[in-house]
Chains A and B, each alone.
Chain A
Amino acid sequence: MIRTNKLMKVYRTEEVETTALNEVSVEIKPGEFVSIMGPSGCGKSTLLNILGLIDNPSGGEYHFLDKEVSKFSERQRSQLRKNNIGFIFQSFNLIDELTVFENVELPLIYTKVSSSDRKKRVDDVLDKMNMMHRRNHFPQQLSGGQQQRVAVARAIVNNPKLILADEPTGNLDSANGDDVMKNLVHLNNEGATIIMVTHSQYCAEFGNRIIRLLDGQVVTESMVAKQML
C-alpha cells in the first residue's frame, strides 16, 4: 500500500538548513498497524504528514496505492486524500463552530455524498463510537476523550483505506487513551491500515510493527509480540 524510497524532507530558512527526513525507506502493507516512535524532532510527524499527503517531500519517491505521488499537485493530493485517508490528531482538531454531527459530516461533504446518505453514515459511525447522544453538541461541551472519539468518527466516516493518527492519546488521560487505542485496534481488525505516531511505548505496542526514527533516519524496525486484548 505504501512504499517510500530514500524520502527526503529539508526545511530551509535564510540561514539554517534542517534535514527532517534523511533517505527514509519504508514499506507498509494493507492491513498493517504500524507505530512510529522516536524522540521529539526526529521527523515522526513530518513523515506522517508526507505519508498523509498533506506535505510534499523534498526528494525521494513515495508510492501510494501503486502510484508515485511525490510530485503530485495540491489538487491531486487533495483528491487522493479525501477518498483514501482518515486523520486523527493529538489536539483533535475539531471545528469549534460546528456540532459533533456537522464535524463528522464534513469529509462526506467534500466527497459529495448525498445529504440523506450523509445523515445515515454519520449516525452509524457516531453510534459505533457511542457518541449518538452528543450529536448536537459543540466540541467545547465535550470531554477530551469524547472529542477524540468524535475525531475518530470523522476519520473513519468515509471508510478510508488508511488511517493516520498523530499522538492520538497525547492529550488524554490513561482511561480515555486506552479507549481510543482499543477503537484503533478494532478498526485495524476490520481491515483498515493504520499508521500511528506516538511517544508511548505502551501505545506503540498496540500495533504490529514499530518503526523507530532518530534524526530523520529509520534506526530500527521491529515486530510486536501479539497483545491480548
Chain B
Amino acid sequence: MLKNYLKIALRNLWKHKLFSGINIFGLGAAIGASLLLMLTALQQFSFDRFHQNGDHIYRAYLESYRSRGLERGANMPTPLQPVLEEEIAGLEHAIRWRGGRAVVEYEGERYQTGIRYTDPAFFQLFSFQLLEGDPARVLAGPNSLVLSESEAVKFFGATAGIVGRELKVITGGIPKILQVTGVVEDQPYNSSLNYEMITRYENAPDYQEGKDNWNNFNHALFLQLKEGQNPQEVEQQLAAITQKYFSNDIERIEQEGASAPDGGPVLRLKLQPMHELHFDRDVSGDGMSRAFPIGLLIGAFFILGIACINFVNLTLGSSMTRAREVGVRKVLGATRRQLAGQFWGEALLVTGLALVLGLAASQFILPGFNRLFRTEIELNHPHLFLSIGLILIGIGLLGGGYPALVLSRFQAAAVLKGNMQGPRPGRLRNLLVLAQFAISVLLISCTIIIGQQLQYLRHKPLGFNKEEVVSIPLPPGLDAPQVLERLRNELAPNPRVKSISAGYNNFGLGMDGSTYTSIISFTQNEKEYYTHWQVADYGFTEALGIPLVEGRGFSKDYSTDTVQAILINETFARQLGEGPYAGKVLEMEPPREVIGVMKDFHFQSLEKPIEPLSVALARPGGGFPMNYLFVRISPDEAPATMQALEASWKAIAPKAPFIASFLNENTNRLYKVEEIMGQLFITAASLAIILSCMGLFGIAVLAIGQRTKEIGIRKVLGASVASLVALLSRDFLKIVALAILVAAPLAWLAMQAWLKNYAYRIDIQWWVFVLAGALAVLIAFVTLSLQSVRAARANPVEALRSE
C-alpha cells in the first residue's frame, strides 16, 4: 500500500511539474531561510545558559529611587564582595568581575590586549572549560594568570605545556610579572562574559585605593546561591547589608527628598538571573533588544507560513484533477482515513524533499550568512532538530493536513458522475492570498522603516566632526602626554593634519571594540548631581569641532586649568540652573570651575538621550588616563595623510599597534545590530514577496484555466486583450489592495514599538505604506500578467475547443 502511495505521489509530482516546482522550491527556500533565522534567534535566547550552575547564578545590581526617577546600575564598590561572603547565608560564591586593558611584553614584542580581574572562585562559579589547570586552584596564587586559548596560541604557539611560563603585563602603567596557571577555552559565542586574560582581582591597577572605598562603583558582582536557596531570601539579607554599608548613599538620596513609591528603602541591592544579562536594558542598558530575535522568529514563521499557503492553495486548486482518483479509490474500498493518510503522506513527501533542499541550501549559504550577520551558527546544533521538527509538523499538519481532509471528503458517487465541482476557490483561497500579501507588505514596510531609522542614526549630525577625525587607541604602557607632544611636533609641518588631542573615552565603538563611559556624582546645595566624565588634552573641542556656547576651552595660558577647569555640556548646564555658567564652581573633589559650556553633542549611542557631561584636563596620576588620540585631518587626500600619521606613529611608538578609525566608522559600529536587522529584514521581505508571487502565479494558472471558456466567448464577442487582462487580474489585485489595508496598521504598531528603543528616531511617514503597497501591487500585477496576457492572447477557437 505504501509503495502504491509513493508511486502515485511521485508520478503526480512529475505530472504537475509547475506546481510541484513551486511547492518544493518555494518550501525549500522558505525552510532554508527560516532555519537560519530560527537558529539565529534561538542562539540569542541561548545566551549564558550553558553554565552548569546557571540557575543559581545572579548578578547583583543597585536600584535607587532618586528624585529624578528610578535608576538601576550593576557597578559595585570593591569592599562589597568580602562583606557578602562573610555575612550572607546561602551563598556558595561571590566574585567580582572587571575589565581593563593591558600591554603584554613578551620576547621583546609589545601586544595590546584585554585583561579581566576576578576572584579565585570564578571557574567554579562559571562553566568555562579549562584546558589546563584545576578550576578550584587555577586562580589561587596572587600572580595567577589564565590565558584564553587564542591568547595562549598568540604568545606561546600552543595551549599545552605552558603552565608556569611568565608574562610581563603592564596595566595602568605598572608592569607586573604574572605566571600562567591555566588555559581556558575561548568563550562561546553565546556568552555575555568575554575574556582574553584573567587574573586576580587584586592585580587591578587601582585596587589598593579602592579596596576600602564604598563610593567607587567600578565592577560587576556575580553570586552563586546554594542549591535550593531562595533568591528572595537573599535579597532580604541584602537589604540589611545595604542599610549597614550604604548608609551615606541612602542619606544623600533621602536628602534629595526622594522616596520609593512602596514606602520601602530608597536604595536596594537586588539579584538579576544570569540568563537575563543578554537582554538586559534596565540595569546596564547595553543589552540586546528582545525585539531582534523575536522579529527573526516572526519573520521565519511568516516565510514558512507563506510557503504553506502556496501549498494549501495549489493543492486545493488542483484537487479537481485528483477528485476522480478519490472517487475510484473510495469505490474500491478505501476509507476516508486511508485517503487522508495518502494525501497527507504526499504532503510530507513534498515537505521532505523541500527539507532536503532547504538543508542543502542553508548549508551552502551558512558561511556567507555567518560572515554577513556576524553570527556563529552551525547546522549540527541541537536547536536544528527542534527547528526541523517544528517545520515538519507545521507544514505537514497545516499545509498537508487541510487539503488531505478536503480531498478525502469528496463523495464518490458525485465525483464519478462527473458533475462535481471542486471546492469553490472562494473565501479560503482569497483569505490565504490576503494573508500572504499582508505579510509581504508588512515586511516591506518594516524594511523601509528600519532602513530609514538606520540612515537617520548614521547621518544625524552628532554635534562633533565625525567625518574628519580619526581615533587611535593609546596602549596603556605608553606615556600619553609624551606621545602627544612628539606627534604634534612631527606632524606640525603637515598642512593636512589640522589638530591633535586625546581623551579618556572614545566616540562610538573603535577598532579595539570597546566603549565605556564613567559617571561621577557630587552634591551641591544639598542636591545631588551626576555627570558623565571625560578627560581630555588641550585642543579637545577644536579637534573634535565641538562649538562652545559660552566661555573658553582649555588653555596653557591658564596654569590652573589642569587641576580646576572643567567644560560642561548644555544639558548639564540646564540642570545647574540659571546662567551664566562660566565661573561657577562645582563642589566636586577637588572643586572645579566651569570655564566653558559646550554645545550639546551625542557622546553616546542615539538610543540614549543626551545626558550631562563634564570634560576635565588629564593630568598624570589623575586616575583617568588618555586612552585615545583624536586627530583631525583634512578630507582631501585622506589616505596619504593616514599613511603619514602611521609613519609618525611607528617612529614614536614602534611596538604599539596602529589601529586608527574615523569617528563616523566608530559611531556606525554602534548600530551594527540595527544594520544586521535591516539586512535580515530585506532578505526576509524579498523572500516573502517572491514566494507570495510564486503562489499567486500558480493560483492564476489554475483560476484562468477554469475560465478558458469564458475568455474564448468574450474574445469572440469582441473583448480586447487589455480588457481581458484587467478582468483576469482584477479580483486578485483587489485582494492585494485589501492586504495593504490590513498590513499598514500592523506595521505601524510594530515599528512604533521598535522605535521606542531610540531616544532619537524618525517619524513614520504615511508614504512608506503607499510605497510598500504600490510595490506589492506592481509585483503582483506583473506576476498575474505573465499568465493572463497569454490566456487573453490565445486564439479563441482553441479556448472553446478545449472546453
Does A98 sit at the interface, judged by CB under 8 A?
yes
Is the Cβ of A98 less than 8 Å from the Cβ of B334? no
Q: Specify which chain A residues have a CB less than 8 angstroms from the CB of B165 in the assembled complex.
A: none
**Min distance, Cβ A107 to any Cβ of chain B, angstroms:** 5
Is the Cβ of B325 less than 8 Å from the Cβ of A95? yes
Query: Given the known A-B contacts A54-B412, A55-B413, A102-B4, are A97 and B332 also in contact in the complex, defined by CB atoms under 8 Å?
Result: no
Query: Given the known A-B contacts A97-B12, A98-B7, A102-B7, are A74 and B333 also in contact in the complex, defined by CB atoms under 8 Å?
Result: no
Query: Given the known A-B contacts A89-B416, A91-B418, A109-B1, are A81 and B333 also in contact in the complex, defined by CB atoms under 8 Å?
Result: yes
Q: Specify which chain B residues have a CB less than 8 angstroms from the CB of A81 in the assembled complex.
A: 331, 333
Those of A46-95 within 8 Å (CB) of chain B: 49, 52, 54-55, 74-75, 78-79, 81-83, 87, 89, 91, 93-95
**Min distance, Cβ A177 to any Cβ of chain B, angstroms:** 20
Give the secondary structure class of A's interface.
helix
Does A111 sit at the interface, judged by CB under 8 A?
yes
Those of A75-129 within 8 Å (CB) of chain B: 75, 78-79, 81-83, 87, 89, 91, 93-98, 102, 105-107, 109-111
Q: Specify which chain B residues have a CB less than 8 angstroms from the CB of A95 in the assembled complex.
A: 8, 324-325, 328-329
Q: Mark B301-330, 1 if CB is under 8 A from A, else 0.
A: 000000000000000000000001101111
Q: How far is the CA of A78 from the CA of B336 in the complex (A)?
A: 10
Q: Specify which chain B residues have a CB less than 8 angstroms from the CB of A146 in the assembled complex.
A: none
Q: Specify which chain B residues have a CB less than 8 angstroms from the CB of A94 in the assembled complex.
A: 328
Q: Specify which chain A residues have a CB less than 8 angstroms from the CB of B584 in the assembled complex.
A: none
Q: How far is the CA of A223 from the CA of B325 in the complex (A)?
A: 37
**Min distance, Cβ B335 to any Cβ of chain A, angstroms:** 5
Q: Specify which chain B residues have a CB less than 8 angstroms from the CB of A154 in the assembled complex.
A: 332
Q: Specify which chain A residues have a CB less than 8 angstroms from the CB of B4 in the assembled complex.
A: 98, 102, 105-106, 109
Chain B: CB-nearest residue to A154: B332
Does B417 sit at the interface, judged by CB under 8 A?
yes
Q: How far is the CA of A107 from the CA of B413 in the complex (A)?
A: 17
Does B556 sit at the interface, judged by CB under 8 A?
no
Bin the interface of chain B by size: 20 to 34
Q: How far is the CA of A83 from the CA of B332 in the complex (A)?
A: 9
Q: Specify which chain A residues have a CB less than 8 angstroms from the CB of B328 in the assembled complex.
A: 93-95, 106
**Min distance, Cβ A87 to any Cβ of chain B, angstroms:** 5
Does B11 sit at the interface, judged by CB under 8 A?
yes
Q: Specify which chain B residues have a CB less than 8 angstroms from the CB of A105 in the assembled complex.
A: 4
Size of A's binding interface in residues, CB under 8 A: 29
Query: Given the known A-B contacts A54-B413, A55-B413, A95-B325, are A106 and B331 also in contact in the complex, defined by CB atoms under 8 Å?
Result: no
**Min distance, Cβ A122 to any Cβ of chain B, angstroms:** 13
**Min distance, Cβ A164 to any Cβ of chain B, angstroms:** 9
Q: Which listed residue (B1, B15, B338, B416) contacts A93, Cβ 8 A?
A: B416
Chain B: CB-nearest residue to A83: B333
Chain B: CB-nearest residue to A45: B417
Q: Mark B4-22, 1 if CB is under 8 A from A, else 0.
A: 1001100110010000000
Chain B: CB-nearest residue to A164: B331
**Min distance, Cβ B10 to any Cβ of chain A, angstroms:** 9
Q: Which listed residue (B332, B336, B411) contacts A106, Cβ 8 A?
A: B332
Chain B: CB-nearest residue to A157: B332
Chain B: CB-nearest residue to A74: B336
Q: Which listed residue (B1, B8, B418) contacts A97, Cβ 8 A?
A: B8
Q: Specify which chain A residues have a CB less than 8 angstroms from the CB of B418 in the assembled complex.
A: 91
Q: Mark B323-362, 1 if CB is under 8 A from A, else 0.
A: 0110111111111101000000000000000000000000
Is the Cβ of A78 less than 8 Å from the Cβ of B324? no
Q: Specify which chain B residues have a CB less than 8 angstroms from the CB of A106 in the assembled complex.
A: 4, 328-329, 332
Is the Cβ of B331 less than 8 Å from the Cβ of A54? yes
Q: Specify which chain A residues have a CB less than 8 angstroms from the CB of B333 in the assembled complex.
A: 78-79, 81-83, 107, 110-111
Please report A residues at the B interface, Cβ cutoff 8 Å: 45, 49, 52, 54-55, 74-75, 78-79, 81-83, 87, 89, 91, 93-98, 102, 105-107, 109-111, 154
Query: What are the 9 tightest A-B residue pairs by CB atom distance, in nearest-first order?
Result: A82-B333, A110-B333, A97-B11, A49-B413, A55-B413, A54-B412, A107-B332, A54-B413, A93-B328
Can you offer 21 A-B residue contacts whose CB atoms are under 8 A? Answer: A52-B331, A54-B413, A74-B336, A75-B335, A81-B331, A82-B332, A91-B418, A93-B324, A93-B327, A93-B416, A95-B324, A95-B328, A96-B15, A97-B15, A98-B4, A105-B4, A107-B332, A109-B1, A110-B332, A110-B333, A154-B332
